[in-house]
Amino acid sequence: MGKITDALKKATEEKLSRLGKLDSKEEIKYQFIAQKTVDSNIDPRVVTFYESDSPVAEQYRTLRTNIQAIDSKKPIKAIAITSAIHNEGKTITSINLAIAMAQDLNNKRILLVDADLRRGRIAQFLGIKSDLGLSDLLSDGNTEEKAFLNIGIENLTVLPCGKTPKNPAELLGSMKFRNLLGLLKEKYDYVIIDAPPIVPVTDAGLIGPQTDGVIMVVQSGRTQKGVVKHAVGLLKQVQAKLLGYILTNVQYHVPAYIYRYL
């Protein structure tokens, strides 16, 4: 299978090409922030939770399908989500992908790991509070029962980043992390790892080679091509397997007729 490129708009563009041009008066601009329909502290940008039948949530399911269909010598189980620089949408992407995979009718067991030990935000986006997490497991290993969280989404377990350590790179490059990841791959069907951006810090370069593949998140209209190429070069240097790219912050029009049937 080819690389996962621009997965978040692929299905909608295919529908547009099949149905042809419609009256421009019927076009509406789809908002990428969901309206809260349930009482939850989860960030409204987690559309797979609030609006699982929306066009954007469908793109995450397309991404899920593409990942599951990857032809590889060994199963793709542990996937790192990274970006070239900060604030490109990798954490929101990781959360939405993890929930989309947990919603699979095959009842796959999904673990979402916040491996951004410097400025992890998964707990914040999910509206949860936890003093323990990955850094604590790697530091002392005695907090397993309290570190893994069930947040009420079926088939999904969350491992927050934990306390900010003084030595994040050393922890992520340690044999403890390698052994822990091996155990997690045995227990869960998929392990989605939200990794730090690769250009500013070395952490993603340590995580990537230990996973079955890396997905690069690129923000449309912001990240320069040269920066992306540099980030890809850093992943190649550490022999991480690049599965493909996700383009975020894409604004496009969805005709009303198509919107009703998406």
| pLDDT at residue 141, as a whole number | 66
Q: Which of 122, 112, 115, 130 is nearest to 168 (CA)?
A: 115
The verdict on residue 4 lying in a domain is: no
In a domain, 24, yes or no: yes
pLDDT at 146: 82
Whether residue 150 is contained in a domain is answered as yes
Walk along the chain (262 residues) in steps of 10 and give the mean pLDDT of each run.
Answer: 48 43 39 52 93 90 92 87 93 96 93 96 92 89 78 94 94 95 95 96 95 94 89 95 88 45 35
Residue 1 located in a structural domain: no
pTM value is 0.81
The predicted structure's pLDDT at residue 126: 95
- Residue 58 belongs to what domain range? 10-261
Q: How many structural domains comprise the chain?
A: 1
Burial classification of residue 6, based on how many CB atoms lie within 10 Å of its CB (0-12 exposed, 13-18 middle, 19 or more buried)? middle
What per-residue confidence (pLDDT) applies to 142? Answer: 63
pLDDT for res 25: 40
Identify the pLDDT of residue 72: 73
pLDDT tens-digit map of 41-79:
899 999 999 999 888 899 999 999 999 888 777 889 999
Domain membership of residue 81 (yes or no) is: yes
In this prediction, residue 39 carries a pLDDT of: 59
Residue 194 domain-assigned?
A: yes
The pLDDT assigned to 251 comes to: 59
pLDDT at 19: 35
Indicate whether 3 belongs to any domain: no
CATH of the domain at 198: 3.40.50.300
- Report residue 20 CA to chain centroid gap: 32
